[in-house]
Chains A and B, each alone.
Chain A
């Protein structure tokens, strides 16, 4: 799996958009970008994933650059409950295998009132 690089921490004002970057310059063609978050020692929570197109769901949007070497997770209106560690994970899929997730240190997002 490709290595990812994320800033260790970020602040965001409540109600504003939080934009969390992730660099995955060695990503290969069959690798997806996944985002999970962990709120204060709770179990990690799936947010969103994508291959090359931008994706949006009820939680967030994922913007992947055309060359796929980086991506940005966008929380459109951050709330205090979005304070968490956000993990960007690159995973391949070839139809078989157990596909354990490899977590890095992530970005600690602090939403400030």
Chain B
């Protein structure tokens, strides 16, 4: 069964450094998402991406964040200058095109980002 993959599984970085989190969505999916989950808290939406542009973003997704689909398979989340409070699990998700009922999102295993 196809699945969303994410790399790395764990990233440790120093405050102020740039990080890029990578995701490979399911191949025929057209909608892509990033969510994050700070330890012990709820899963929070960051951004959605469709047709090579951001379709929606949350208040969390400020200027230090960016997303890109550099080729036909990868979907990346970049944090330009990490802060301690960016430490969290980051989940990528993708959704197939379409039908009225298929609002089903498929999540990757996550990347644990630790900012020191």
Q: Which positions in A face B, CB cutoff 8 Å?
A: 32, 34, 38, 41-46, 49, 51, 91, 93, 95, 97-105
Can you report 26 residue pairs joining A to B where beta carbons are below 8 Å apart? A32-B101, A41-B110, A42-B109, A42-B110, A43-B107, A43-B108, A43-B109, A43-B110, A44-B43, A44-B93, A44-B105, A44-B107, A46-B105, A91-B103, A98-B31, A98-B55, A98-B56, A99-B31, A99-B95, A99-B103, A100-B33, A100-B35, A101-B43, A103-B42, A103-B43, A105-B42
Q: Which positions in B face A, CB cutoff 8 Å?
A: 4, 31, 33, 35, 37, 42-45, 48, 50, 55-56, 58, 89, 91, 93, 95, 100-101, 103-110
B residues less than 8 Å from A41 (CB atoms): 37, 89, 110
Q: Find out whether the CB atom of B45 lies under 8 angstroms from the CB atom of A49.
A: no
Interface of B, helix, strand, loop or mixed by DSSP: strand
Interface of A, helix, strand, loop or mixed by DSSP: loop
